């Protein structure tokens, strides 16, 4: 790829690149992305531009396959959620969070076992993200990144329901960690808009309240 003046553009982080300079290259139009990973590349590009502009991030390019678009977004959500999982390890211990809960009304069973059962919250988080990664990287259900069968797209809803529980546990039981992470990534708000837009979850299951400004600093900091 070359700029108008003929200078080459290298869209990769070279050895020795400083953290503040990661991915600091000009945007590339979606129609010029000639790769089987073009959708992922485009989504990550829009996130880097402004993670708070979730409406723009979720706006599908013209002529893009909707199934692939939803699939690639869910892959991206799961990758970013690993960052929240790492932060939760600071205080979400099996001895203190013995169940995957969100408020007193919600206790979730972990589907990673032969028979679904209760798990410490941090184990549930790890199992859920591992399970999502296995499914989304399955050659059986998702052998292609450019075309996806409708029967495979139908599996995305169950993944959404499970990974959303990580947000809800973090919000109701580790509020400071949740708010710090959300203020940087806007991930929960983007995820909520995503599942509402494509009807991948019922509204009654979206229990993390969305502040009008988009900033979770408005929400009371005391833990539920």
Provide the pLDDT confidence category of residue 29 given band limits of 50, 70 and 90. confident
Domain count, the chain: 1
b/e per residue, 1-24, with b = 16+ CB within 10 A? eeeeeeeeeeeeeeeeeeeeeeee
- Model pLDDT for residues 114-168, shown as the tens digit of each residue: 899 999 999 999 999 999 999 999 999 999 998 999 999 999 999 999 999 999 9
C-beta separation of 91 from 177 below 8 A: yes
Give the per-residue pLDDT at 224. Answer: 40
Provide the pLDDT confidence category of residue 31 given band limits of 50, 70 and 90. confident
Using alpha carbons, select from 159, 152, 113 the residue that is nearest to residue 132. Answer: 159
Query: Quick check: 169 pLDDT over 90?
Result: yes
CATH code (residue 211): 1.20.140.30
Give the per-residue pLDDT at 171. Answer: 96
Q: Is residue 144 part of a domain?
A: yes
Residues 6+ apart with CB under 8 A from 182: 188, 189, 216
Phi, psi angle pair for 108, to nearest 5°: -105, 140
Q: Is residue 113 part of a domain?
A: yes
Q: Is residue 132 part of a domain?
A: yes
75 CB burial (10 A radius; 0-12, 13-18, 19+): buried
Q: Is residue 151 part of a domain?
A: yes
Query: Quick check: 1 pLDDT over 90?
Result: no
Domain span at residue 176 reads 66-218
Q: In the chain, what percentage of residues exceed pLDDT 70?
A: 83
C-beta separation of 57 from 47 below 8 A: yes
- Angstrom distance (rounded) from CA 60 to CA 152: 20
Give the per-residue pLDDT at 32. Answer: 74
∠ CA 81-86-87, nearest 5°, is: 100
Mean pLDDT of 168-173: 96
Query: Quick check: 98 pLDDT over 80?
Result: yes
C-beta separation of 224 from 173 below 8 A: yes
C-beta separation of 124 from 108 below 8 A: yes
Q: Is residue 24 part of a domain?
A: no
Query: Quick check: 10 pLDDT over 70?
Result: no
- Model pLDDT for residues 44-65, shown as the tens digit of each residue: 999 999 999 999 999 999 989 9
- Model pLDDT for residues 185-210, shown as the tens digit of each residue: 999 999 999 999 999 999 999 999 98
């Amino acid at each position: 790829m070359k700029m108008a003046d003929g200078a080459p553009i290298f869209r990769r982080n070279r050895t020795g690149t400083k953290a503040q300079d990661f991915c600091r290259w000009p945007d590339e139009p979606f129609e010029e992305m000639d790769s089987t990973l073009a959708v992922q590349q485009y989504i990550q590009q829009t996130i880097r531009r402004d993670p708070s502009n979730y409406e723009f991030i979720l706006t599908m390019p013209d002529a893009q396959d909707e199934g692939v678009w939803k699939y690639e977004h869910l892959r991206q959500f799961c990758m970013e959620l690993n960052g929240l999982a790492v932060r939760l390890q600071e205080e979400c211990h099996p001895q203190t969070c013995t169940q995957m809960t969100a408020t007193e009304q919600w206790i979730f069973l972990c589907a990673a076992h032969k028979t679904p059962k209760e798990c410490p919250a941090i184990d549930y988080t790890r199992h859920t993200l591992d399970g999502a990664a296995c499914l989304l990287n399955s050659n059986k259900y998702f052998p292609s990144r450019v075309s996806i069968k409708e029967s495979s797209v139908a599996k995305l809803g169950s993944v959404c329901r499970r990974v959303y529980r990580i947000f809800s546990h973090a919000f109701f039981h580790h509020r400071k960690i949740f708010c710090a992470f959300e203020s940087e990534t806007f991930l929960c708000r983007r995820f909520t808009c995503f599942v509402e837009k494509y009807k991948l979850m019922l509204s009654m299951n979206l229990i993390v309240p969305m502040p009008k400004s988009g900033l979770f600093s408005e929400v009371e900091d005391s833990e539920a």
